[in-house]
């Protein structure tokens, strides 16, 4: 999804204003791009879905018709201010030292300077539960740009994957002020964990391939799973989970992508069997070298050599 900001200063009328947004599915954008050589199906020469960052099942799969979703995903709002700047999203960049003893949060706040000249502001970063804070002056330049301040914490409570420990998180609060006046406050939750994809050499042949979180080996499974509904926004709006999803959560199985098989229809009637099929699919992928188990004893030769 892409956030679009449109400057309307001087365009508004005193009476009612109407905002019209024209959007299209992307077919015009890819009309002149290459289609030959990418075909999975004959109609791919027409829609060229390989160039479009959309759910690929929307271009016709065996379980659904062609319906390319377009639209505005989130609310539309109008902002106005006589302040020296406006503040957009906060992006926290969290790091943890290799010995797991020291963490840092680089708070990146995107700011748009509204004055013709740059001004000075003060940005304060707090990890509320830890009682840690950092503050520094930042330059607010004309136009859109990030401002950053880093806060550090000793011996943070670590975040662990489900089933391996608690999901400890901290409240990160970031405040931006100009001339003593508060421009914005942004609050998010962050966790400290160190993730490593281990690909060390294997003693027999090839290399290992597994995930390590906070120094511990983590067995992770993956599978393809057809979406439960063609129009993704309907499912998101209801915020409902199916029994099959609940089973996969309990088994630490995370969805990796849609599977356009007839199994999708069977899964609606029999989520338990679908869960078993997903596990079997993981074993099949492991045999092909896509997923390597953690322990030496269960390393498949194909996984070692890939």
Q: CA–CA separation, 161 vs 301, rounded Å?
A: 28
**CATH fold of 85-190:** Immunoglobulin-like (2.60.40)
The reported pTM is 0.68
Which residues of the chain are in CATH 2.60.40.10 domains?
85-190
pLDDT of residue 232: 63
Summarize the confidence of residues 3-16 as an average pLDDT.
86
Summarised one tens digit per residue, pLDDT across range 119-175 is 999 999 999 999 999 999 999 999 999 999 999 999 999 999 888 999 999 999 999
At residue 3's C-alpha, the angle toward residues 57 and 16, to 5°, is: 115
Structure tokens at 60: 């016709």
Q: DSSP letters along 242-265, please? A: -HHHHHHHHTTEEEEE---STHHH
Q: Which of 26, 20, 29 is nearest to 68 (CA)?
A: 26
What b/e sequence results for 190-222 when a residue is b if at least 16 CB atoms lie within 10 Å of its CB, and e otherwise?
bbbbbeeeeeeebeeebebbbeebbeeebeebb
The string of pLDDT tens digits covering residues 254-272 is 444 444 343 444 444 444 4
| 85-96, strands of its sheet edge to edge | 85-96, 102-113, 143-154
- Which has the closest alpha carbon to 111: 140, 137, 76? 140
Task: Examine the pLDDT at 100 and tell me if it is beyond 90.
Answer: yes
Averaged confidence pLDDT in the chain: 79
Give CA–CA dist 145/110, Å, rounded. 6
Q: Could you tell me if 283 and 253 are in contact, meaning their C-beta atoms sit under 8 angstroms apart?
A: no
Q: Are 130 and 153 in contact (CB under 8 A)?
A: yes
CB 57 within 8 A of CB 40: no
Which is higher by pLDDT, 26 or 291? 26
Which of helix, strand or coil describes residue 41?
coil
**DSSP secondary structure string for all residues of 134-182:** EEEEEEE-BEEEEEEEEEEEESPPBB--TTTS-B--EEEEEEEEETTEE
């Amino acid at each position: 999804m892409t956030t679009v900001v449109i400057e309307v200063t001087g365009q508004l009328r005193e009476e009612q204003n109407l905002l019209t947004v024209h959007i299209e599915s992307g077919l015009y954008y890819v009309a002149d791009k290459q289609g030959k050589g990418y075909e999975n199906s004959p109609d791919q020469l027409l829609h060229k879905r390989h160039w479009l960052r959309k759910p690929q099942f929307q271009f016709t799969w065996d379980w659904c018709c062609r319906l390319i979703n377009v639209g505005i995903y989130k609310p539309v709002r109008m902002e106005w201010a006589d302040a020296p700047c406006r503040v957009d999203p906060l992006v926290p960049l969290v790091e943890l030292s290799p010995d797991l003893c020291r963490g840092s949060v680089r708070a990146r706040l995107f700011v748009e300077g509204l004055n013709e000249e740059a001004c000075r502001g003060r940005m304060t970063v707090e990890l509320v539960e830890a009682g840690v804070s950092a503050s520094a002056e930042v330059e607010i330049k004309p136009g859109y740009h990030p401002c950053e301040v880093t806060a550090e914490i000793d011996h943070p409570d670590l975040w662990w994957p489900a089933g391996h420990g608690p999901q400890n998180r901290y409240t990160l609060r970031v405040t931006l002020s100009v001339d003593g006046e508060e421009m914005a406050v942004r609050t998010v939750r962050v966790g400290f964990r160190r993730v490593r994809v281990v690909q060390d050499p294997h003693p027999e042949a090839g290399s290992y391939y597994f995930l390590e979180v906070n120094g511990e080996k983590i067995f992770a499974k993956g599978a393809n799973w057809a979406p439960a509904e063609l129009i993704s926004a309907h499912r998101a709006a209801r915020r409902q989970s199916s029994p099959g999803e609940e089973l996969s959560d309990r088994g630490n199985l995370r969805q990796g992508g849609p599977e356009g098989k007839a199994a999708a229809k069977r899964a609606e009637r029999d989520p338990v069997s679908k869960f078993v099929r997903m596990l079997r699919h993981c074993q099949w992928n492991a045999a092909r070298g896509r997923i390597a188990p953690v322990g030496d004893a269960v390393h498949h030769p194909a996984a070692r050599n890939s």
